[in-house]
């Protein structure tokens, strides 16, 4: 039921150009946020080694 | 807006993203600056493998950064500068950027990342005769201290001349295992290594992409530091406890302590390390029999080229460096067949290489015959040696070094 209401709301809102742009911006920002969460963590580790002098 | 809603939304998203990146960068830098004095005495991996904390440290007037290798980390003692000065007895503390097997080329990569922040700042470069006299830098050591961030910072630095970048690129290609996962960097290094109109054009096309990647890695570095701060309850307030250091009594105490750790041999070698030398010295060695090989090793050591790259970086970034070497462990080397005269080749070459860069160099040559300055042949600093080093650092920080 709530999905139907949400779909109706989005379809109605999408018809308005300003709201459409806002929704699209939020959509793109969500994608960017997802990418940052998935791939944003840097890897600063270095391989372990046994120091045996020179 | 009506016809191009995707383009408008895309542009707005990018603007918000860039603003967010700037905001995050500013927020992270302010936190790093606030906590750097509290972080300085801790051995944090991110301080070595990242640049954010090094950048915060170099901008802090009461912190003296010391870049170095095993001579810094080998002996666990309270005379080690980072511990000795932790309460700011004379107005400053030391932050180490040091790790076992860290070489001049790695230090150069670290320092380039500081960029203009290095201008006019004091920085100590700690070296030992070992990599210049006892063999080449192994790929294992280089890889163990290598990070992509520092490599990118050097190769895509807007503050370095192409000559220095080309020299560094040539050296970095000697360690292919570190480049396996990064064909873009490998290609750029190859382009820098073979100067021609075409490769130069490639470099300038690659530059914005490399710079963009560097920005991303710097943000990741900030995130790693913030994660560390978030998971450790640290107080940013650091107590300063001014005191007058009695160097003579400190030296006497350190010397007595050092002697307690060298009871099983006559060369001042740390007891735990003597097992490495005992078999070598149990057989008779003709005095001077190792001179020829030693001189050849000193003259041909690749580390001199790496040191030149490091010195060029310091010069081009206008830093105020102190090159802090360690003395040859004269009596131990003599026992192993290398005469003092031959050993002096190290000092001659050191001053020959550093002279064109007009930097302050301390070689502690006068302590070469003091068997308690170093704990072994590689001149790893002993407890007693650390007191001399501490005194030099104090003089350097307070502009008393001549």
C-alpha span between B387 and B395 (Å, rounded): 12
∠ Cα B375 B379 B384 (to 5°): 50
Mutate to test the interface with A, among B15, B144, B152, B176 (most CBs of A within 10 A): B144
With CA atoms as reference, the chain A residue closest to B136 would be A54
Mutate to test the interface with A, among B3, B4, B13 (most CBs of A within 10 A): B13
Structural domain includes residue B175: yes
With CA atoms as reference, the chain A residue closest to B220 would be A42
Question: Residue B310 is inside which H or E element, if any?
Answer: helix B303-316
Model pLDDT, residue B155: 97
> Could you tell me which of B282, B314, B47 has the C-alpha nearest to residue B159?
B314
Contact at CB, A28 and B70, closer than 8 angstroms? no
B47 exposure class (CB count in 10 Å sphere: 0-12, 13-18, 19+): buried
Write the ipTM: 0.82
Structural domain containing residue B155: 5-397
Model pLDDT, residue B103: 93
Structural domain includes residue B402: no
Closest Cβ opposite residue B50 in set A27, A44, A53: A44
> Could you tell me which of B196, B200, B180 has the C-alpha nearest to residue B188?
B200
**In the beta sheet, which residues pair with residue B381?**
B374
Distance between A13 CA and the closest CA of chain B, angstroms:
14
Mutate to test the interface with A, among B1, B8, B9, B25 (most CBs of A within 10 A): B9
∠ Cα B18 B19 B21 (to 5°): 65
Structural domain includes residue B116: yes
| pLDDT tens by residue, A10-31 | 888 888 888 889 999 999 999 9
Q: In Å, how far from its chain's centre is CA B46? A: 14
Cβ pair B144, A47 in contact under 8 A: yes
Q: What is the pLDDT along chain B (402 residues), one digit of tens a residue?
A: 557 888 999 999 999 999 999 999 999 999 999 999 999 999 899 999 999 999 999 999 999 999 999 999 999 999 999 999 999 999 999 999 999 999 999 999 999 999 999 999 999 999 999 999 987 888 999 999 999 999 999 999 999 999 999 999 999 999 999 999 999 999 999 999 998 999 999 999 999 999 999 999 999 999 999 999 999 989 999 999 999 999 999 999 999 999 999 999 999 999 999 999 999 998 889 999 999 999 999 999 999 999 999 999 999 999 999 999 999 999 999 999 999 999 999 999 999 999 999 999 999 999 999 999 999 999 999 999 999 999 999 999 999 987
Structural domain includes residue B234: yes
> Could you tell me which of B240, B244, B255 has the C-alpha nearest to residue B394?
B244
Return the structure tokens found at B223: 């995130």
Question: Is a pLDDT exceeding 70 seen at residue A43?
Answer: yes
C-alpha span between A48 and B297 (Å, rounded): 28
Closest Cβ opposite residue B224 in set A17, A24, A44: A44
Contact at CB, A49 and B134, closer than 8 angstroms? no
Q: If DSSP codes are grouped into helix, strand and coil, which group holds residue A52?
A: coil
With CA atoms as reference, the chain B residue closest to A25 would be B9
Give residue ranges of B with CB < 8 Å to any A CB. Answer: 1-2, 5-6, 8-10, 12-13, 16-17, 45-46, 49-50, 70, 100-101, 130-131, 134-135, 140-141, 143-147, 149, 217, 220-221, 223-224, 376, 378
Distance between A39 CA and the closest CA of chain B, angstroms:
10
DSSP secondary structure string for all residues of B113-176: TTGGGGTT-EEEEE--SHHHHS-PPPHHHHHHT--HHHHHHHHT-TTS-HHHHHHHHHHHTT-G
Contact at CB, A21 and B45, closer than 8 angstroms? no
Contact at CB, A21 and B147, closer than 8 angstroms? no
Return the structure tokens found at B328: 């040859």
Sign of the alpha-carbon torsion through B124, B139, B333, B345: negative
Total Cβ atoms within 10 A of residue B323: 22
Distance between A6 CA and the closest CA of chain B, angstroms:
21
Instruction: Residue A21: list chain B partners with CB under 8 A.
Output: 1, 5, 8-9, 12
Structural domain includes residue B251: yes
Radius of gyration of chain A (CA): 23
Structural domain includes residue B367: yes
Contact at CB, B143 and A28, closer than 8 angstroms? no
Looking at the structure of chain B, the number of domains it has is 1
First-to-final CA distance of chain A: 72
Alpha helices in B321-366 (DSSP H): 330-335, 340-354
With CA atoms as reference, the chain B residue closest to A19 would be B5
Structural domain includes residue B127: yes
CA-to-CA separations, A8 to A11, B9, B229, in angstroms, rounded? 5, 22, 46
Q: In Å, how far from its chain's centre is CA B54? A: 11
Model pLDDT, residue B204: 95
Sheet strands side by side (includes B122-126): B93-98, B63-68, B122-126, B320-324, B360-362
Closest Cβ opposite residue B1 in set A17, A27, A41: A17
Q: In Å, how far from its chain's centre is CA B94? A: 13
Closest Cβ opposite residue A28 in set B10, B130, B149: B10
> Could you tell me which of B287, B296, B272 has the C-alpha nearest to residue B346?
B296
C-alpha span between B229 and B34 (Å, rounded): 11
Return the structure tokens found at B24: 């995050």
Eight-class DSSP state of B356: G
Model pLDDT, residue B2: 56
Q: In Å, how far from its chain's centre is CA B285? A: 36
Return the structure tokens found at B155: 């190769």
Q: If DSSP codes are grouped into helix, strand and coil, which group holds residue B66?
A: strand
Distance between A46 CA and the closest CA of chain B, angstroms:
5
Question: Is a pLDDT exceeding 90 seen at residue A42?
Answer: no
C-alpha span between B92 and B18 (Å, rounded): 37
Cβ pair B82, B66 in contact under 8 A: yes
Sign of the alpha-carbon torsion through B140, B141, B145, B148: negative
């Amino acid at each position: 039921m709530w999905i139907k209401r949400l779909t109706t709301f989005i379809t109605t809102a999408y018809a308005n150009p300003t709201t459409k742009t806002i929704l699209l911006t939020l959509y793109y920002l969500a994608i960017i946020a997802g990418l940052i969460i998935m791939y944003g963590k840097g890897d600063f580790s270095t391989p372990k080694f046994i120091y045996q002098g020179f | 807006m009506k016809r191009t809603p995707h383009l408008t939304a895309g542009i707005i998203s990018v603007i918000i993203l860039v603003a967010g990146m700037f905001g995050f960068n500013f927020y992270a830098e302010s936190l790093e600056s606030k906590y750097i004095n509290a972080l300085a005495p801790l051995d944090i991996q991110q301080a070595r493998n990242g640049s954010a904390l090094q950048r915060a440290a170099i901008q802090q007037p009461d912190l003296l950064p010391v870049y170095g290798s095993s001579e810094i980390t080998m002996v666990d003692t309270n005379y080690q500068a980072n511990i000795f000065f932790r309460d700011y007895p004379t107005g400053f503390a030391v932050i180490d950027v040091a790790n076992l097997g860290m070489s001049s080329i790695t230090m150069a990569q670290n320092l380039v990342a500081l960029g203009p922040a290095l201008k006019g700042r004091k920085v100590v470069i700690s070296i030992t005769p070992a990599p210049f006299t006892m063999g080449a830098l192994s790929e294992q050591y280089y890889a163990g201290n290598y990070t992509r961030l520092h490599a990118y910072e050097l190769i895509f630095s807007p503050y370095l001349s192409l000559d220095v970048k080309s020299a560094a690129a040539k050296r970095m290609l000697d360690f292919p295992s570190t480049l396996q996962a990064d064909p873009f960097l490998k290609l750029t290094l190859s382009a820098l290594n073979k100067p021609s109109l075409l490769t130069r054009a490639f470099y300038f096309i690659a530059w914005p992409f490399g710079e963009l990647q560097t920005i991303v890695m710097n943000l990741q570095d900030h995130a790693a530091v913030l994660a560390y701060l978030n998971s450790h309850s640290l107080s940013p307030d650091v107590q300063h406890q001014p005191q007058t250091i009695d160097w003579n009594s400190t030296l006497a105490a350190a010397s007595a302590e050092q002697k307690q750790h060298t009871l099983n041999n006559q060369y001042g070698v740390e007891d735990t390390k003597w097992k490495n030398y005992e078999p070598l010295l149990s057989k008779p060695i003709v005095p001077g029999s190792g001179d020829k090989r030693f001189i050849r090793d000193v003259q041909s050591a690749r580390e001199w080229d790496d040191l030149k790259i490091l010195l060029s970086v310091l010069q081009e970034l206008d830093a105020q460096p102190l090159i802090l070497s360690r003395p040859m462990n004269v009596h131990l080397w003599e026992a192993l067949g290398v005469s003092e005269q031959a050993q002096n080749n190290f000092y001659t070459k050191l001053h020959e290489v550093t002279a064109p860069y007009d930097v302050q160099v301390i070689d502690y040559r006068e302590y070469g015959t003091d068997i308690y300055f170093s704990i072994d042949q590689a001149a790893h600093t002993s407890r007693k040696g650390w007191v001399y080093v501490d005194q030099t650092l104090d003089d350097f920080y307070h502009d008393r070094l001549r």
